Amino acid sequence: MKKADLHTHPNILKKPEQGEEFIRRAIEMGLDSVCFTDHMPFSVTGDEHDRIPFGGVGDYCRAVRELSERYGNEIEIFTGIEIDYHPLYEDEAKAVISSGEFDFILGSSHLNISGFGIPFGGGLTRTEYALFVLENYLAAARSGLFQILTHLDVYRWVFSENVFYPLEGEFDPSATEPTLREIFAEMELRDIALEVNAAPLYKKFDGDGPYPARRILDIAGEYRIRRTYGSDAHAADKVGFGYDAIKDLLI
């Protein structure tokens, strides 16, 4: 199996030096390939520091391809992008995708920010919030836009940082199983890969291992779904992070 990190954020248009830093680190870590997947420009968040600037998707793809050609003898470099999916903003996602050429398009749910029709200001339980996130991943899978779904249970991070929402109650994982099964059936049907994401290993907000938690991987194991590894590195020292701990979870 090729050792590949298919989820990294060099932020190369805003921090051009990071492209080479990420590549050097990837080579050091013994990776066969790395995919740059900077965050899409997104009207909901505005021009956040770690996003491709508005109108910059073509330049971003050109910058990654230029590095890919320069370092092609040492490592395989793919052009990717991380898309914030929500049905309300699907047209925006499609416009971004069609303005570049990508090897991998990652589908993500980032519902810890406002603008997605989720009731803010309290009254939502942890279980309800997790279901909002998973319903959004289900819609993402059905959209047909993605090759990989990333950090499926990212709600674990939101649970640990109660600054985003005043969430209530204990999380009931069993309540999410029907939705997870719908997601996995759709992923199997469309050959969408499931990412095992190392971010929880270095963010250390809970002790449940990488995204998704073992319980979810066990359910996914009942379906024919490929798995990818992603460090979700936003700094060069995180490229390839935790690969050895995760590789046995990849099938």
Q: Does 5 bind Zn ion (CB under 5 A)?
A: no
- State in Å, rounded, how far the first CA of the chain is from the last one: 9
* Among 12-20, 53-61, 120-128, 227-235, the segment contacting Zn ion (CB under 5 A): 227-235
Whether 95 contacts 104, CB under 8 Å:
no
Tokens of 106: 């990652």
Q: Kindly tell me which residue out of 18, 68, 108, 231 binds Zn ion, with binding defined by CB under 5 A.
A: 108
Closer residue to Zn ion, CB minimum distance, 152 or 187: 152
Closest separation in Å from C-beta 22 to Zn ion:
13
Residue 232 interacts with Zn ion (CB under 5 A): yes or no = yes
Q: Where are the alpha helices (DSSP H) in 32-143?
A: 57-70, 90-98, 126-143
Nearest approach, Cβ of residue 23 and Zn ion (Å): 18
Tell me the window of 50-58, 111-119, 123-131, 226-234 that interacts with Zn ion (CB under 5 A): 226-234
Q: Which residues pair with 51 in a beta bridge?
A: 39
**C-alpha distances in Å from residue 129, one per residue of 118, 138, 218:** 9, 14, 22
118: three-class secondary structure by DSSP: coil
82/103 with CB nearer Zn ion: 82
Beta-bridged to residue 185, according to DSSP, are: none
- E strand intervals along the chain: 4-8, 33-36, 76-84, 104-108, 148-149, 193-197, 227-230
Scanning 51-59, 81-89, 112-120, 128-136 for contacts with Zn ion by CB under 5 A, the matching segment is 81-89
CB of 122 to Zn ion, least distance (A): 25
CB of 174 to Zn ion, least distance (A): 26
**Of residues 96, 175, 86, the one with CA closest to residue 137:** 86
C-beta of 74 vs 206, nearer to Zn ion = 206
The enclosing H or E element of 219 equals helix 214-220
Q: Applying CB under 5 A, does 109 fall inside the site for Zn ion?
A: no
Provide, rounded to whole angstroms, the least separation between the CB of residue 187 and Zn ion: 17
- Per CB under 5 A, the segment of 68-76, 204-212, 218-226, 229-237 that binds Zn ion is 229-237
Tally Cβ neighbours within 10 Å of residue 212.
Answer: 26
Classify the C-alpha dihedral 79-245-238-201 as positive or negative: positive
Closer by beta carbon to Zn ion, 114 or else 123 = 114
Q: Which stretch binds Zn ion (CB under 5 A): 64-72, 79-87, 97-105, 217-225?
A: 79-87
CB of 131 to Zn ion, least distance (A): 19
* Total of residues contacting Zn ion (CB under 5 A): 3
Provide, rounded to whole angstroms, the least separation between the CB of residue 241 and Zn ion. 13
Per CB under 5 A, residues contacting Zn ion are: 82, 108, 232
